[in-house]
């Protein structure tokens, strides 16, 4: 009898779990947030797949790279300046949205992609200042390489914080900003250090697939920073345009 009840219990538990699973699947039917990192990566890329250079690249690795860059990696928060444009600004990816931190639209869907007006003309082009340091332009250069880095050099930066770009080209004006330091000080390379080789290579492939872009703010425009007297400089020196609002919205 005990075995019989145990068997019945197992069947009931199995049915219950099946019901929960079916309920979850039903609730997420048509969910636009994909369970596939590849599909989700392409879905959340501010630069649509049609504008990515996929020639000679592993399609799935580019998708995963976008998922890491635009999802858990949060690269755009530092390397896109400004990251978002106001609602109605047609220079962005979604004029009907705006800056999500401003609550426009007033609610974000639990099962839909983020509604935001990404500044696609300057996506990952750098220019944002952190104290005396400036975020780099990590879109492809004239040779199709982000920061002029090979894949092996990119992995080295992500694992050690070595400023390989400035080692290779110390004449770049951005290399003279800030005090000399042993490793990159703002770039959160310690957080990326333990990512798998494939993850880092996927990020690199996504970056090389992007269109080249120019920053709104350059070294010549100055770097006011976010502390001390410099914090009172509300505007950089660059021209105020729709795609480069000056002063920029809070980042």
DSSP string, the chain: -HHHHHHHHHHHHHHHHHHHHHHHHHHTTT-SS-S-HHHHHHHH-SS-GGGS--TTS-HHHHHHHHHHHHTTT-THHHHSSSSB--TT-TTSS-TTS--GGGTSSS---SSS-----B-GGGTT----EETTEE----SB-TTS-BTT--HHHHHHHHHH---HHHHH-TTSGGGGSS---SS-SSS-HHHHTTS-HHHHHHHHHHHHHSPP---SS-GGG----SSGGGGG----SS---SSS-SSPPP-
Reported confidence tier of residue 2, pLDDT bands at 50, 70, 90: very low
Please, are residues 82 and 126 in contact by the beta-carbon 8 Å criterion?
A: no
Which one is predicted more confidently, 104 or 50?
A: 50
| pLDDT for position 3 | 44
Report the C-alpha gap between 137 and 221 in whole angstroms: 15
**Tens digit of each residue's pLDDT (9 = 90 or more) over 152-185:** 999 999 999 999 999 999 999 999 988 899 999 9
| pLDDT for position 112 | 92
- State mean pLDDT over 220-230: 64
Lowest mean pLDDT among 5-9, 67-71, 81-85, 131-135: 5-9
Average pLDDT, the chain: 85
- State mean pLDDT over 113-119: 95
- State mean pLDDT over 36-41: 96
- pTM: predicted TM-score of the whole model, two decimal places: 0.84
**Tens digit of each residue's pLDDT (9 = 90 or more) over 176-220:** 988 899 999 999 999 999 999 999 999 999 999 999 999 999 998
% pLDDT > 70, the chain: 83
Which one is predicted more confidently, 73 or 107?
A: 73
Distances, alpha carbon 93 to alpha carbons 116, 120, 194, 215, 235, in Å? 8, 6, 32, 17, 24
Reported confidence tier of residue 224, pLDDT bands at 50, 70, 90: low
């Amino acid at each position: 009898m005990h075995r019989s009840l145990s068997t019945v219990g197992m069947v009931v538990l199995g049915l219950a779990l099946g019901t929960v699973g079916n309920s979850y699947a039903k609730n997420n039917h048509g969910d636009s947030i994909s369970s596939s990192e590849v599909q989700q990566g392409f879905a959340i890329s501010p630069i649509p797949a049609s504008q990515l250079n996929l020639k000679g690249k592993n399609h799935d690795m580019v998708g995963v790279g976008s998922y890491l860059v635009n999802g858990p990696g949060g690269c755009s928060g530092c390397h896109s300046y400004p990251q978002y444009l106001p609602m109605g600004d047609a220079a962005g990816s979604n004029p009907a949205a705006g800056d999500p931190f401003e609550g426009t639209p007033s609610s974000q869907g639990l099962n839909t992609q983020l509604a935001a007006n990404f500044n696609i003309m300057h996506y990952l082009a750098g220019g944002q200042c952190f104290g005396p340091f400036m975020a780099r332009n990590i879109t492809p250069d004239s040779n199709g390489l982000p920061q002029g880095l090979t894949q092996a050099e990119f992995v080295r930066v992500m694992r050690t914080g070595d400023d390989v770009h400035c080692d290779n080209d110390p004449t770049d004006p951005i290399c003279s900003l800030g005090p000399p330091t042993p490793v990159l000080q703002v770039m959160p390379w310690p957080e990326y250090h333990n990512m798998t080789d494939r993850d880092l290579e996927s990020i690199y492939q996504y970056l090389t697939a992007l269109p080249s872009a120019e920053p709104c703010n350059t070294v010549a425009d100055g770097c006011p920073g976010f502390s001390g007297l410099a914090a009172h400089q509300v505007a950089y020196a660059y021209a105020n345009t729709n795609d480069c609002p000056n002063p920029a919205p809070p980042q």
